[in-house]
Amino acid sequence: MIIRCPHCRSQNRVRSERFNDEPTCGHCSKALLAGVPVAMTDENFAEVLAASQRPVVADFWAAWCGPCRGFAPVFAQAAARHPEWLFVKVDTDANPQLSQQLSIRSIPTLAAFCDGKVVERVSGALQAVQFEQWLASAFR
């Protein structure tokens, strides 16, 4: 699957069987899938869910959405704090199929996945403390 590096934005091809081996970017050598949210797309999201041994937290957002922009640093800080989970972002404008499949009707919407299935979701930007509580309840 193609994963866009969250640091330098270059495209990396990652094989599913290597997904959990802490892949690094071929261009900038930084970790592709740890510490910072990674942008996912209609093309790779299903494969990422299937391949990831870690639970996945997704932030469905759009560039024009003020609350989404306000929530972005909260999401990024949580990604830095919780390497045990994979934090991904889905731009709903650029990825209409996913938004439709998951019936995303308002943004931001946050969804937590275990073993590829949604275990919890919530719409609306959360404060950092609320987001921590939500994560803890989703992955308890």
Using rule CB under 5 A, residue 8 touches Zn ion: yes
Which residue bears the tokens 């330098």? 8
Q: Which of 50, 70, 51 is nearest to 59 (CA)?
A: 70
Site stretch for Zn ion (CB under 5 A), options 24-32, 71-79, 91-99, 109-117:
24-32
Using rule CB under 5 A, residue 25 touches Zn ion: yes
Q: Is 68 a catalytic residue?
A: yes
Q: Three-state DSSP class for 92?
A: coil
Using rule CB under 5 A, residue 4 touches Zn ion: no
* Token reading at 117: 């299935």
Q: Which of 83, 104, 79 is nearest to 20 (CA)?
A: 83
Q: How many residues bind Zn ion (CB under 5 A)?
A: 6
- Please count the CA atoms within 13 angstroms of the CA of 35 that sit on its side-chain side: 9
Report the residue number, 28 or 122, with the smaller CB distance to Zn ion. 28
Find the farthest-apart pair of alpha carbons in the chain and give their distance in angstroms, rounded. Answer: 38
CB of 28 to Zn ion, least distance (A): 3
Q: Is 65 a catalytic residue?
A: yes
- Residue among 5, 25, 28, 65 flagged as catalytic: 65
Using rule CB under 5 A, residue 28 touches Zn ion: yes
List contacts with Zn ion (CB under 5 A): 5, 7-8, 25, 27-28
Q: Which residues carry out catalysis?
A: 65, 68
